[in-house]
Amino acid sequence: MTDEPTALEEKASPSLPQSVDLAAAFEESGVRDVLKELDDTMIGLAPVKQRIRETAALLLVDQARRQLGLATETPTLHMSFTGNPGTGKTTVALKMADLLHRLGYVRKGHLVTVTRDDLVGQYIGHTAPKTKEVLKKAMGGVLFIDEAYYLYRPENERDYGQEAIEILLQVMENNRDDLVVILAGYADRMDRFFESNPGFRSRIAHHIEFPDYTNEELLKIAEIMLSEQNYAFDPAARVAMAEYIASRRGQQHFANARSIRNALDRARLRQANRLFNEAAGPLDAAALSAIAETDIRASRVFRGGLDTDRKPAREAAE
């Protein structure tokens, strides 16, 4: 029997610590603040928040291993966010950029959000400089590519999206210690995109699905959105808003929290017109802040239509 050192003992060095306190590292990094802000400011999304916590734990352990001389490569942090519009993907990407910055995995922690039009040119020689300029802006932070599947259009032989894809893949591989890329979009379309572009699939380590909000969560989101602007539903309006949500989510082009924000913008417009046309005297803060039932029920949704500022052709002509 020999007394030869083990692999772990060989890695050990007098200059390296012998142990790491993960709880202390968690507190010192500020990750707790990011996770708390995520919980406090975003309604629902329990599975998403859990995945973010798991990712934070992975990175804290990776840092601990680095301190003990056990890790040598930066973990792959490129991600895929899938879900319907208005489910908080961009907001969570912003929180992720902050988290990665606090842990030292990106230098700046900023978020650059783009779509196909920001990356792909209209003629030969236009795509490469556009894509490289975006990547230059995103370096040291997170690049969020919304509806990423539009980069690839196999039906168009003269499409320049493939050139942007090749540049992105190269940078994702060679600069993964200075840039994190998040691809986002509908789940089914993203699946087809990855099947057509295996290079992306092999570079994406974290796939996070964003569920739709429940009716109750959307009502709570509506109340928070109003509160942030010093408005509030009166009791009857709150009931009407709950009915609006139940009806609107069954219609086409429903975009979760995004549709709720648009609906509230229109409700505030109706409230302003109501007050302007009906007020017989001075108005106090309560009157100016209250969204009434009529402000909600004036929506076309209650008549079987879409709640939109765009009028049907016949109505616009009248």
CATH of the domain at 302: 1.10.8.60
Compute the distance between CA of residue 74 and CA of residue 137 in angstroms, rounded to an integer.
21
Pair (79, 192) in one structural domain: yes
The number of folded domains in the chain is: 2
Pair (100, 188) in one structural domain: yes
Burial state string for 25-55 with b = 16 or more CB within 10 A and e = fewer than 16: beeebebeebbeebeeebbbbeebbebbeeb
Does residue 136 belong to any structural domain of this protein? yes
From 188, 210, 232, the end of a domain falls on 210
Pair (52, 186) in one structural domain: yes
Pair (145, 194) in one structural domain: yes
Dihedral sign from CA coordinates of 45, 241, 227, 114: positive
Does residue 138 belong to any structural domain of this protein? yes
Pair (89, 37) in one structural domain: yes
Whole-number Cα distances in Å, 235 to 106, 216, 239, 290: 47, 16, 7, 10
Is the pLDDT at 77 greater than 80, yes or no? yes
β strands within the chain, DSSP E:
79-83, 111-114, 142-146, 180-185, 206-210, 232-233, 290-291
Tens of pLDDT, residue by residue over 140-189, are 999 999 999 999 887 776 788 899 999 999 999 999 889 999 999 999 99
Pair (236, 136) in one structural domain: no
Query: How far is CA 316 from its chain centroid?
Result: 36
Pair (72, 156) in one structural domain: yes
Compute the distance between CA of residue 258 and CA of residue 255 in angstroms, rounded to an integer.
5
From 210, 233, 253, the end of a domain falls on 210
Tens of pLDDT, residue by residue over 272-304, are 999 999 877 899 999 999 999 999 999 999 987
Domain range spanning residue 80?
Answer: 17-210
Is the pLDDT at 69 greater than 60, yes or no? yes
State the CATH number of the domain containing residue 66. 3.40.50.300
Phi/psi of residue 252, nearest 5 degrees: -70, 160
Task: Copy the structure tokens of residue 203.
Answer: 């570079």
From 210, 234, 264, the end of a domain falls on 210
Pair (94, 170) in one structural domain: yes
Pair (206, 222) in one structural domain: no
More confident residue, 94 or 63: 94
Backbone Cα Rg of the chain? 25
